[in-house]
Amino acid sequence: MTTAGSDSTGIPATGIHARGVRRSFGSVHAVRDVSLDVPAGRVTGLVGPNGSGKTTLLLMLSSLLAPDAGEIRIAGIDPVAEPQKARALLGWMPDALGAWGSLTSRETLRVTGRLYDLPAAEASQRADALLADVGLTDLADAPARVLSRGQKQRLGLARALVHDPRVLLLDEPASGLDPQARIDLRLLLRRLAAEGRTILISSHVLSELEEVVDDAVFLLEGRTVDPARVEAASRRAQPWRVRLAGLAPLDAVAPVSAALRLDAAHVGTDRRDLLVSFASDDDAAAALRELIAAGMPVVEFAAAQGSLERTFLDLEAGAPPASADPASSDAPEGRA
């Protein structure tokens, strides 16, 4: 039975679909077994340590590298069998710009537009609009070779958008961007997703990724991590930062431990703050109430890590399998 938005094989006609994808380079198994679905209208993060296969996977999804095995569809199109059709739908932003250094920013976008068969006038209009979108209007006539790393990243994003693609593959787009440019990038990606585009973004800056993505796919050693294992890791205890006004961290350990009925060994210090782990957000909220009720002058109480960073670190450290109890911990009363 064919469902809405899929073909007769059940493969989605929008977004990105991959099953059992593998790719080796001689004896090096870069991608061992990747399966994922990236829906349209959302920003999905691709998270993994160096060497986990992220860039190799993106190259296969972009039709620039053929998989050794497995199945890939870009909006229902096989990028191996029909690369030109897939590329018409794809906007690919590699980690490095790789532009013609002698061309200006505007010329780079115009030439790219012409390569996608845009009429000359439309390519020029598109170039000017995109330069404004990525904040490079003032550098429109500067040759690409003089751009900074962050400016080249912005030009690379604009180049990926020249032909108005429905699917975006972005490899480290925030690398080298200053704080304002990162905010602008987040706003742009959210707008593009709201327009119904499919966005898969790889980044090592997990704090930045946290603020823009709707979903995340985790890669470890060339394999996609089972969603149940990701869920187990995301539900494990996490550290929270606690700071009391007028008290140095070491001096705050005893009163906080007493107020929360914790052994002092469960309360750590990090620069200005205490670090206390809680098994859930509910436990953290209860602990904050206890501190306030005890008259503690709390001026900071916040998660020490974002959920992506915490899950990533937990998976790398060897999170329990899905069959394990994700809520279990060694701490008393649900605290770790």
| Contact status, residue 190 vs residue 166, Cβ threshold 8 Å | no
pLDDT at residue number 330: 37
pLDDT at residue number 167: 96
d(CA 60, CA 169): 11
- DSSP letters for 271-316: TTEEEEEESSHHHHHHHHHHHHHTT--EEEEEESS-HHHHHHHHHH
pLDDT at residue number 290: 94
pLDDT at residue number 319: 46
The whole-number mean pLDDT for each consecutive block of 10 residues of the chain, a chain of 336 residues, reads 47 84 94 94 91 93 95 94 94 84 93 94 96 94 91 93 95 86 90 95 81 88 84 76 91 91 84 87 92 93 79 66 36 38
DSSP one-letter code for 55: H
| Contact status, residue 157 vs residue 182, Cβ threshold 8 Å | no
Residue given tokens 């920013």 in the structure block = 105
d(CA 239, CA 123): 50
Domain ranges of the chain: 16-224, 235-334
Residue given tokens 């008393």 in the structure block = 332
pLDDT at residue number 320: 43
pLDDT at residue number 137: 95
User: Which CATH superfamily does the domain covering 16-224 fall into?
Assistant: P-loop containing nucleotide triphosphate hydrolases (3.40.50.300)
Task: Write down the pTM of the prediction.
Answer: 0.78
**Dihedrals phi, psi of 159, to nearest 5 degrees:** -65, -35
pLDDT at residue number 34: 95
User: Listing from the earlier edge strand, what are the strands of the sheet with 298-303?
Assistant: 267-270, 273-278, 238-244, 298-303
- DSSP letters for 171-192: ESTTTT--HHHHHHHHHHHHHH
Burial environment of residue 141 by CB neighbours within 10 A (0 to 12, 13 to 18, 19 or more):
exposed
Domain 235-334 coded CATH 3.30.70: yes
pLDDT at residue number 327: 33
Same fold, 16-224 and 235-334: no
d(CA 268, CA 289): 20
